[in-house]
Structure 1
Amino acid sequence: MNDQCVSRPPGLRAWLGLLATLGPVLLVAMDGSVLFLAMPKVTEALSPSADQALWILDVYGFAVGSLLVAFGGIGDRYGRLRLLMIGVAVFGVASAGAALAPGPELLIAFRALMGVAGATLLPSALAVLSELFTDRRRRARAIGIFAAAFAAGFAIGPFVGGQLLSRFWWGSVFLINLPVVLLFLVLAPFLLREVRTVRAGRVDALSVLLSAAGLLLTIYAIKHAAAEGPTAATAAAGVAGVVGLGWFARRQRRLEHPLIDFSLFHDRVFTVAIITGLLPLAAWSATAYLAGVHLQSVQGLPVLDAALLTIPGAAVLTVTCVVTPALVGRIGRRAALITCHFCVAAGLLLLLPLSADASAGTGWYIASTIVAGLGYGVSFSVVADTAVSAVPPERAGSAAALAETGNEIGNALGIALLGSLATLLFRLQGPDLADTLNETLRIPGLAPEAIGDAKAAFVTGLHVVAATAGALHIALGVLALRWIPKSSPGTGDAGEEHLVEATGGESGGVR
């Protein structure tokens, strides 16, 4: 952000620039969830293995989350608008490649490339936005619109995917990105200006490599062991991943300008805020994916009907995200964070009545998404602000970047860890004919008993995942109740100014 700029009311160009920026933001968010209902169709077309199916879902989130902070620093040094334009172009190319991928391996590769491009968009878009809105209050309002658009994109992803799949082939969920990409590339040079900041130090390439490789190797080991059982190669990958993450954490403590400032976690309010950014996204991504499979493969609903059932929860989440800032002004961030976790827990536990009976379950699913949507909406709205207000102003940028990174990593970890738990339970309790429910149901001449066993095993996995995530949210709600004092830096209004400055001047978060 240019601190020298004179505050002035935003004109038509600023609002049009905001509108243009929201397009890529919606795409990045939507592509994190658009496959939740599309996976049965993708599985039918490409026949991925159980661990490949999980990689298709979550490699995107891992790429975004592991590179957000790094690309924030690169944009500071070489120009935010330039990086934003390159990122959007690469996102479009990768989307076209994913749509036309002939097999699961290439689809995974293009999803990873989409994630790399997506990691360039969020911090750069926020910095460019801050140049358009130099007035602090209007900038805060624009950032609020930005955050609501991100939340709405993630919420409507399953619905958009279902709508497209009811009319077109599975690749259409990626091709829909191209018109938005082309429109942005045409309009951005006229509506947006370049933004650079003087930033001390440089991005540590070894830290980026260690964090990305450590995450991917560790998750690969977990997913491969869950799908096919433990092997020597799996164990070696897991050990290498853990060592890489340990090396990364140790290196950050020695660097003058680390990618992640771990000393921030000494503050309990900050720690609760970051975990609140991570855990709800993990629970949402895992249960949304598994519930989508349940609606289509257990209850036998067409993809369009399954998509329509996601609307109430998405609407509640989006509205909650918009009204939460006003609500927080009345009840405080502490009460909002605690309410967030207990709402999500209650919503997740409403999935427990789902069964293998094809004639029942939609009512429980809708109730679950509505109740949990209240908690998810609060999480989107208050996490970054709470994290930023819990630390000194000079560290606000690092806090905001960590809040955003926690959200993205949480989205990927939900599929990776909780999805792997469901896969493991299906492998242990299912009819042992294939690694996943959809693969089992495609076997010709399958006996009714085997179909029933496969569906029952899948529902057991869904129940265990929902119960585990719900218990974690209850525990975190109790932790917030104990750790966050009724009057603390993280529960007042001091963070708004810091958040605006952080998201404008560094690789800040959007939520």
Structure 2
Amino acid sequence: MKRAQRPWLGLLVILGPVLLVAMDGSILFLVMPQLTAELQPTADQSLWILDVYGFAVGSLLVAFGSLGDRFGRLKLLMIGAALFGLSSAGASFATTPEQLIALRALMGIAGATLLPSALAVLSELFPDPRRRSQAVGIFAAAFAAGFAIGPVVAGQLLTRFWWGSVFLINVPVVAIFLLLAPFLLREVRAVRPGTVDVLSVLSSVAGLLLTTYAVKRLAASGLAVVPVIIGLVGLAILWWFIRRQRRLEYPLLDLTLFRDRVFTLAIITGFVPLAAWSATAYLTAIHLQSVLGIPVLHAALLAVPGAVVLTVTCIVTPRIVARTGVRAALVACHTFIAAGVLLLVFVDVSGGVTWYVASTVVSGIGYGISFSVVADTAVGAVPTDRAGAAAAIAETSNELGNALGIALLGSLAAAVFRLGGPGLAPTLTETLHLPVVSGLAVTDAKAASVVALHVVALLLAVVHAGLALYAALTRPLSVAGGRVTPSQPGNANLMPDNSQ
């Protein structure tokens, strides 16, 4: 094998599990109506089936990024891939909501081992900044494509197989990765490993889960003492977690990285757009199938134009950023997303498919910029020996945005539906599956669901318009060789392990 070919073949191998981890963050959007009919989860269980994967990934990404830096990134990649394959196989044959939630959580834990180590190994494969920028652009495109094509793949599978097939397809991809990775990827560790603080891991997970559970309960059932107390406890734990990171010699979340303005803007642009994408993808999937009655395969195909635009944007963005600068990219990112989600207000009970497709295409440009800029900017804005930590935080912003988008904005939609709906069930899907329901109640439920979608779309449009304005007023960010110039130059303190 030629020396020049090895990095690109290594990149190709890495993209397999990256694509799977991203796909599994969105693949259930179109599956939920069929899954709900067969497993009959409650409203809370349905949200946890969707959310627990993202929360497991987001809660543990930083921890596993740190572990990979200290104990070996390739080793963690191999263990994570094996666990991801096994848990995927188990999820495909789950027979109860509880089983599926548990296995989805296990998939999330495995996914958390893959993303930061994959991006850090990628940075080591391409020491040249320009080629690394191209490789990270491809990496981001694969990650974005996974999110975008998840519902499309699900729609194709559901026309031929049972709902569990959306998980079973992960197994052969994982097997190929496990066979080829040891030959194409090198083990890489940080020079000064430090230790992992178990209390930080536990407190970050507990704080996120308790806070999110409280938000869901309040949205589904209204104001009550118990969820308020649980939410306050969750927030207190997260506050304690942040204070603890400032005191530790080797923190789980390196808050000093946020002193770099470039890095901070990249993380914000990783979190907010993913929250918008996941929430609108979930709500529009319900709208297409449950309100408009569009078959699952047709609904999946309607998402293809937006997925194509998103993926292409990821690939071309690094070259554009090299000429225009990061600030212009950030302004364009939030502007396109704001315009795209705003188009959803034209969707109604009787139609709006054209507006939906237009929305995915316009916002897809913004999402593509976000995926590409976040990964490359975050890793390029810090010293090389902190690439693993930066990559982990960048991917954490994506995964938490994905999970919190569904949890918080999905809960907002549920609250709007509860206030304006017929009051027979907490969600539209549950209302439509009631044994006896009148035509008038169905009409009212669909109308309330559309109003909920409009409320979420308007809120997101305002937020992204504000972020576009903020980015426009921020002083220009410099780029050099297609990469963001770090505020503090880093040193190549990564030590290859030549024991293989």
**Matching of residue 430 in structure 1 with residue 425 in structure 2:** no
1:134 Cα shift? Answer: 4.8
**Matching of residue 349 in structure 1 with residue 342 in structure 2:** yes
1:436 Cα shift? Answer: 1.2
Counterpart residue type for residue 342 of structure 1: T
Aligned residue for 1:243? 236
Distance 1:457 1:504, change over 3 A: farther
Secondary structure of 2:325's partner?
helix
Deviations 1:219-244 (A, max 9, x none): 00100121123333322221211111
Alignment of 1:290-329 (within 5 A): 290-329=283-322
1:351 Cα shift? Answer: 0.3
Q: Following the alignment from structure 2 to structure 1, what is the Cα–Cα distance between the partners of residues 128 and 256?
A: 32
1:140 Cα shift? Answer: 3.7
Kindly indicate whether the alpha-carbon contact (under 8 Å) linking 1:164 and 1:172 is maintained by their aligned counterparts in 2: yes
Secondary structure of 1:350's partner?
helix
Aligned residue for 1:178? 171
Kindly indicate whether the alpha-carbon contact (under 8 Å) linking 1:123 and 1:503 is maintained by their aligned counterparts in 2: no
Alignment of 1:198-209 (within 5 A): 198-209=191-202
Kindly indicate whether the alpha-carbon contact (under 8 Å) linking 1:393 and 1:498 is maintained by their aligned counterparts in 2: no
Distance 1:157 1:449, change over 3 A: same
Kindly indicate whether the alpha-carbon contact (under 8 Å) linking 2:87 and 2:106 is maintained by their aligned counterparts in 1: yes
Deviations 1:90-126 (A, max 9, x none): 1011111211111111111111111110010112223
Distance 1:124 1:268, change over 3 A: closer
Q: Following the alignment from structure 2 to structure 1, what is the Cα–Cα distance between the partners of residues 299 and 347?
A: 15
**Matching of residue 471 in structure 1 with residue 468 in structure 2:** no
Aligned residue for 1:73? 66
Kindly indicate whether the alpha-carbon contact (under 8 Å) linking 1:222 and 1:420 is maintained by their aligned counterparts in 2: yes
Q: Following the alignment from structure 1 to structure 2, what is the Cα–Cα distance between the partners of residues 64 and 169?
A: 26
- Which of 16, 33, 39 lines up with 1:40 in the alignment? 33
Q: Following the alignment from structure 2 to structure 1, what is the Cα–Cα distance between the partners of residues 92 and 424?
A: 30
Q: Following the alignment from structure 2 to structure 1, what is the Cα–Cα distance between the partners of residues 86 and 215?
A: 31
**Matching of residue 456 in structure 1 with residue 447 in structure 2:** yes
Aligned residue for 1:495? 484
Aligned residue for 2:98? 105
Deviations 1:48-74 (A, max 9, x none): 111211111111111111111111121
- Which of 129, 141, 144 lines up with 2:137 in the alignment? 144
Deviations 1:474-511 (A, max 9, x none): 111111122x213x3479955278999899959xxxxx
**Matching of residue 117 in structure 1 with residue 117 in structure 2:** no
Q: Following the alignment from structure 1 to structure 2, what is the Cα–Cα distance between the partners of residues 204 and 481?
A: 39
**Matching of residue 379 in structure 1 with residue 370 in structure 2:** yes
- Which of 387, 411, 434 lines up with 1:420 in the alignment? 411
Q: Following the alignment from structure 1 to structure 2, what is the Cα–Cα distance between the partners of residues 42 and 364?
A: 27
Counterpart residue type for residue 215 of structure 2: I
Kindly indicate whether the alpha-carbon contact (under 8 Å) linking 2:339 and 2:363 is maintained by their aligned counterparts in 1: yes
Aligned residue for 1:3? none
1:291 Cα shift? Answer: 0.1
Q: Following the alignment from structure 2 to structure 1, what is the Cα–Cα distance between the partners of residues 491 and 35?
A: 40
1:203 Cα shift? Answer: 1.4
Secondary structure of 2:316's partner?
helix
- Which of 365, 376, 399 lines up with 1:408 in the alignment? 399
Q: Following the alignment from structure 1 to structure 2, what is the Cα–Cα distance between the partners of residues 467 and 70?
A: 35
Q: Following the alignment from structure 1 to structure 2, what is the Cα–Cα distance between the partners of residues 498 and 39?
A: 45
Secondary structure of 1:230's partner?
coil
1:144 Cα shift? Answer: 2.6
**Matching of residue 233 in structure 1 with residue 226 in structure 2:** yes
Counterpart residue type for residue 441 of structure 1: L
1:468 Cα shift? Answer: 0.8
- Which of 453, 475, 484 lines up with 1:485 in the alignment? 475
Q: Following the alignment from structure 1 to structure 2, what is the Cα–Cα distance between the partners of residues 421 and 287?
A: 12
Aligned residue for 1:364? 355
Q: Which moved more, 1:165-174 or 1:263-272?
A: 263-272
Secondary structure of 1:464's partner?
helix
- Which of 59, 75, 80 lines up with 1:82 in the alignment? 75
Kindly indicate whether the alpha-carbon contact (under 8 Å) linking 1:95 and 1:175 is maintained by their aligned counterparts in 2: yes
Counterpart residue type for residue 157 of structure 1: G
Q: Following the alignment from structure 1 to structure 2, what is the Cα–Cα distance between the partners of residues 23 and 413?
A: 25
Counterpart residue type for residue 447 of structure 2: A
Matched residue count: 495
TM-score by length of 1: 0.91
Kindly indicate whether the alpha-carbon contact (under 8 Å) linking 2:420 and 2:448 is maintained by their aligned counterparts in 1: yes
**Matching of residue 334 in structure 1 with residue 327 in structure 2:** yes
Deviations 1:327-353 (A, max 9, x none): 112322111101111110000010001
Q: Following the alignment from structure 2 to structure 1, what is the Cα–Cα distance between the partners of residues 254 and 69?
A: 18
1:196 Cα shift? Answer: 2.6
Distance 1:492 1:485, change over 3 A: farther
Q: Following the alignment from structure 2 to structure 1, what is the Cα–Cα distance between the partners of residues 260 and 180?
A: 43
TM-score by length of 2: 0.93
Kindly indicate whether the alpha-carbon contact (under 8 Å) linking 1:270 and 1:490 is maintained by their aligned counterparts in 2: no
Kindly indicate whether the alpha-carbon contact (under 8 Å) linking 1:386 and 1:490 is maintained by their aligned counterparts in 2: no
Counterpart residue type for residue 74 of structure 1: L
- Which of 157, 169, 173 lines up with 2:150 in the alignment? 157
1:13 Cα shift? Answer: 4.0
Q: Which moved more, 1:72-81 or 1:412-421?
A: 72-81
Secondary structure of 1:351's partner?
helix
**Matching of residue 212 in structure 1 with residue 225 in structure 2:** no
Q: Following the alignment from structure 2 to structure 1, what is the Cα–Cα distance between the partners of residues 440 and 90?
A: 40
- Which of 407, 410, 433 lines up with 1:442 in the alignment? 433
Identity, % of aligned positions:
65
Structure 2: 5+ residue runs without aligned partners?
496-500
Q: Following the alignment from structure 1 to structure 2, what is the Cα–Cα distance between the partners of residues 477 and 503?
A: 34
Distance 1:368 1:92, change over 3 A: same
Kindly indicate whether the alpha-carbon contact (under 8 Å) linking 2:68 and 2:388 is maintained by their aligned counterparts in 1: no
Q: Following the alignment from structure 2 to structure 1, what is the Cα–Cα distance between the partners of residues 456 and 12?
A: 38
Q: Following the alignment from structure 1 to structure 2, what is the Cα–Cα distance between the partners of residues 348 and 81?
A: 39
Deviations 1:352-385 (A, max 9, x none): 011111xx21100000000000100111111233
